[in-house]
A = this chain, B = another copy of it.
Amino acid sequence: MRGELTAKGRATRQRIIEGAAAVLRERGAALATLDDIMARTGTSKGQLFHYFPAGKDELLVAVAQFEADQVLEDQQPYLGCLDSWEAWQQWRDVVIERYEAQGDECPLGSLFFQIGRSTPGTRAIVIELLRQWQESLAAGVRALQGAGLVPADVDADIRAAALLAAIQGGVSILLSTGRSTHLRAALDQGIADLRGTSHAAV
């Protein structure tokens, strides 16, 4: 059905998703009702089911996709252009700032728990988010290699995977403890070790 939507229809659908995301962030995915979402977005039940025929679950998956896109969006423009040590440092600052501001609430995590972590829809969203995130980090390592700042024999994909894991762990510890020490250590050590690879080559 989505393919048949007019430009106006797509805009309405997007407005519902963004309004629902705001409600879910405020109330929590477990407590927010369709009535809350209709009230916030000024839509009728008929409209809601027109855009999300399968109801709340379909809407929740769409919101999860929106929140996943937001994770990467919030790291731009830095994540998309990691071609100097300054860019890596600016990206690091933005990541820490974003997650410290978010504190111990994770909109995406609550959504995943609400929808069911292992349903195919949410699993696909996580896998794609991680894939894009890791690909951007690997592109950043390759950009440093292109600029001669990192030796060519560094495995960009493994570095990116390890750095991504460290960020995820730092965020997950922040969610559990309220402290960003580990996220900071993960980013600072990850970048320092990447810089350290050039010692052997110099």
**Interface residues of A, Cβ cutoff 8 Å to B:** 104, 112-113, 117-118, 123, 126-127, 130, 158-159, 161-162, 164-173, 175-178, 181-183, 185-186, 188-190, 193, 196-197, 199-200
Query: Taking the full assembly, how many copies of this chain does it contain?
Result: 2
Q: Can you pick out 9 interface pairs between chain A and chain B where the beta carbons lie within 8 Å of each other?
A: A117-B176, A130-B177, A158-B185, A161-B185, A162-B166, A162-B182, A162-B185, A164-B169, A167-B169
The answer to whether B196 and A182 have CB atoms under 8 Å apart is no
B-side contacts of A161, CB under 8 Å: 181-182, 185-186, 189
Alpha-carbon gap, A171 to B181, bound state (A):
19
Set B166, B175, B185: member contacting A186, Cβ < 8 A: B166
The answer to whether A162 and B190 have CB atoms under 8 Å apart is yes
The answer to whether A185 and B165 have CB atoms under 8 Å apart is yes
Taking CB as reference atom, which chain B residue is nearest A117?
A: B176
B-side contacts of A173, CB under 8 Å: 130, 164-165, 168
